[in-house]
Structure 1
């Protein structure tokens, strides 16, 4: 075993995580379609299967994160140790990973960002489905206006159309996920708070925990893209 092989494996695992998150987005889209066409979506067996699937994905994503952290921790001192210590590397990782798994609770899976987005999206669809016809028409007019202006589709940081829009639960503003997370982490590294980048917003302390993926807006952006190509 070599460290280069270890690093290559970790890189492959990170790629798998991207596939897992894409799968979670697809599951959320299917669940939203179900919520839009069924009154009692939570009592639907298909919805329960989708919910179980997204929780399983969250568990896999979480476990990969812990595994990668443990491997990086175990290998961090290998270069300064005797070569024979490489032979015990696999056993050390396995032992520490088993200990970590025994300390985890499935209850924490509900705090996974994409699980929160899943629940938020379903609730949003149910709320819209429960509106009176007049309210739905009014909202449709608003959606058309938004689509035409594309104001809500543009990230205030990148000034381009968002790919993965997230909503700030405190001030209700939207940003592209990668852009706002990078800004928050950059400010944190400088020991500073992150102010909401929307002009005039009084929110002076944006945290990653304040952000929730807005799958509804993401679908609207994708729909607008498809329509523009027709």
Structure 2
């Protein structure tokens, strides 16, 4: 009988959908069952008029009919934290990459600035111009990615979805539930933005999580050449823990 491969569910963040966000993780399919989520508002799904991390977390939690290892990037990391807290019995491990939950690091100057500037951008930024809004957002999060002109249809839809996102700084992370959960957690950052570092440090400290920094790739830490092996080691370690 062939042993079932561990299942990893990848949850993307803002702007980019699942397939482009996790393109570098396709090779993990040789060792794991890979499930790439495409959240509402991202291709091939239609546009939406509102994005709420709590609603998307409920959708993700409801989709976990079998145990899985959750991996979330950015806004998807925030969603993964909430989903894992909702159904801890269905989660084998949790990995989050720079979730922008800056509210949990309130009092840290960089986190406070991120929250303040985000609120200002969503309230007063060029929400009628997805292209301009996206380019300003990329500067805001410290990304050096330069979108094409004109935007591709995928990026244009991602920008429209970005505009209707609920601010991630509003998130209340259920630390007690997550800290008591039976699965291990890995918190990853790219050592490029003090606000993300502050959030990741708080998460690691309060959850007793493993902390990993992979610098040189900005906010897209999953593109780092060491990321896949570090993730694979973490997932397999979680499998041994769960099966031991």
**Looking at CA atoms only, which structure, 1 or 2, has the larger radius of gyration?**
1
- Between Structure 1 and Structure 2, the one with more strand by share is 2
TM-score, normalised via structure 1 length: 0.22
TM-score, normalised via structure 2 length: 0.21
Q: Which has the higher contact order (CA 8 A, sep 6+)?
A: 2
